[in-house]
Amino acid sequence: MVTLDWSDCPLVEIVPGKVSGAPLLKNTRLPVEAITGNYDAFRDEGLSQDAAMAETLDCYPEAGLDAIRAVLNYRDKHQFQAQL
């Protein structure tokens, strides 16, 4: 599994000792991997991008739609760099 560097994403923080140092949505205890993993699972089930986004928001309403979109966009733009 390739690890993405979230350090340049303004919505993500990594705090040693907080949720084992996982990348988190800023000012929460919500791992970005939970957001991306749920979205991917919904897409794998055949949901459209919009439906997968809505279902992910239902799972994590505290994140907000804009933050979910931003996290997914960041991942999409930086995923290739992580594979190099």
- The domains located in the chain, with CATH, are 12-83 (1.10.10.10)
Take residue 56 and report the two structure tokens written for it. 């992910």
pLDDT tens per residue, range 40-71: 999 999 999 999 999 999 999 999 999 999 99
Position 79 scores a pLDDT of 82
Find the farthest-apart pair of alpha carbons in the chain and give their distance in angstroms, rounded: 36
Q: Tell me the whole-structure pTM to 2 decimals.
A: 0.88
